[in-house]
Amino acid sequence: MIINILAVTMAREVYKEFAGLTASGCLVIDRDDELTALTPCCAAFVTYCDTSLCCKSCYGEADNEHLLPAQVAVPAPLINTVIPGRPRRRKKNKKKGS
Ligand SMILES: [Zn+2]
């Protein structure tokens, strides 16, 4: 038996809505119950540049699949998520009214 554990790096904003990966490995986010595949280059939404579809972050060409409801091939619970950057420090409320 082979167990594949995927580790996927994503921004904190994406992590909140992360639903899984498409068959082609794009991040899928669940926003208002709509599944959207983010671009493989920047994990960003797509937008139109003139008449062609492109990545909202780098303006590289994007596939039309990013306009359609995404198909989750690997659900989020099977994926180890990695968030770059330092964890947010929790403020300690020890000093009160000083
Ligand atoms: Zn991009």
Strand partners, 46: 55
Q: Give me the pLDDT at residue 73, please.
A: 95
pLDDT at 21 over 90: yes
DSSP characters for 24-70? T--EEEEETTEEEEPPTTTS--EEEETTEEEETTT--B--GGGGSBP
pLDDT at 93 over 70: no
Averaged pLDDT of the chain? 87
Give distance in angstroms: CA of 55 to centre of ligand 1.
5
8 domain-assigned: no
Give distance in angstroms: CA of 56 to centre of ligand 1.
7
86 domain-assigned: no
Q: Give me the pLDDT at residue 89, please.
A: 75
73 domain-assigned: yes
Task: State which residues form the domain around 45.
Answer: 24-77
- The domain tally of the chain equals 1
64 domain-assigned: yes
Give distance in angstroms: CA of 14 to centre of ligand 1.
15
| Tens of pLDDT, residues 44-78 | 999 999 899 999 999 999 998 898 899 999 999 99
CB 66 within 8 A of CB 49: no
Strand partners, 55: 46
Give distance in angstroms: CA of 38 to centre of ligand 1.
9
Q: Give me the pLDDT at residue 96, please.
A: 62
16 domain-assigned: no
